[in-house]
Structure 1
Amino acid sequence: MKIEYDYTFGLPRNIVWKYIKDEKVLRNSIQGCKSFRETSKGVYHSEMEIKIGPIQDLFTLEIRLDENKSASSFRLQVRGKGNVGEIAGKADLYLKDQQGTAKLNCKAEAEVTGALALAGQRVLEGGANQSLETFFQKVEKEIKRSLYYLKKKGR
């Protein structure tokens, strides 16, 4: 399954770049996240509840963040297991300036097995697009919350 998704943050690219990889921002932005911790540089383990169509399960995930040399793109790699199947995927995220805002383009590929695969590509793609929309909205909210607290503390 391939997905391409665009999102525009109401924040400058350099601010989004700084916070989009922050453990706290990520933990608070992942829908259904039960746990999220960094186990080594750029490697996270997470438990999250996944709901796609009629399917609901708790997945254990390993998430790897491979940062490119430029401060505008990185790759996420995800592998996970649940009772209803397994998921493996990667997402390339690109950020660019767009008149004081950050335009994000996400190109993702995922392979699913088990009952997840039986759900059908249309259900999975619809669920994935909605999940991405929700995730990036929450990321933006978490970044703004972090900036507010920094400003309040006078930093």
Structure 2
Amino acid sequence: MRIEYDYTFGLPRNIVWKYIKDETVLQNSLPGCKSFSEVSSGVYRAELEIKMGPIQDHFALEIRLYEKKLSSLIQLQVKGTGKIGDIAGNADLYLKDQQATTPLKCIIDAKVTGALALAGQRLLEDGANKGLETFFQKVEKDIKRQLYYLKRKGR
């Protein structure tokens, strides 16, 4: 399954780059996130509760983050196991500078197995797109909240 998703942050790229890899921002932003922690440099473990239409499951994920081009490209490898199937995939996040905004293009190649794969590609794609939209909106909101907090603290 291949998914392409575009989002534009109302923030400069250097700010997005700094915070989009932040453990707290990620935990606050991942839909259904129950836990999120860095277990070694660039390797995270997460537990997510997934709800897409009739599909509900609890997934244990391992996420590997690679910074390929400073401030421009992040690559992720994700492996997850749930009761109704497994998921494995790669994601490329491309960030650009554009007049105090940051257009982001996310390209995901994923494979699902088990009963999860039987749900149908359309349902999975719709669920993934909605999840990405929610995630990036929450990331932006959390970044803005943290910047506001730092500004009030005089930093």
Same fold (TM over 0.5): yes
TM-score normalised per structure 2: 0.98
Unaligned runs of 5+ in 1: none
Output one character per residue of 1:85-131: Cα deviation in whole Å (capped at 9) or x when no partner: 00001100000011210000001011000111000000000000010
Matching residue of 2:103: 103
Matches within 5 A, 1:1-155: 1-155=1-155
Q: Percent identity?
A: 73
Deviation at 1:21, TM superposition (A): 0.3
SS at match of 1:64: strand
TM-score, with structure 1 as normaliser: 0.98
| Unmatched runs of 5 consecutive residues or more in structure 2 | none
Provide runs of 4+ in structure 1 moved above 6 Å.
none
- Residues 29-74 of structure 1, C-alpha deviations (whole Å, 9 max, x = no match): 0010000000000100010101122110110000110111432111
RMSD of Structure 2 on Structure 1 (CA): 0.7
The amino acid that maps onto 2:23 is E
Give the AA of the match of 2:82: G
Amino acid of the residue matched to residue 44 of structure 1?
Answer: Y
Aligned residues: 155
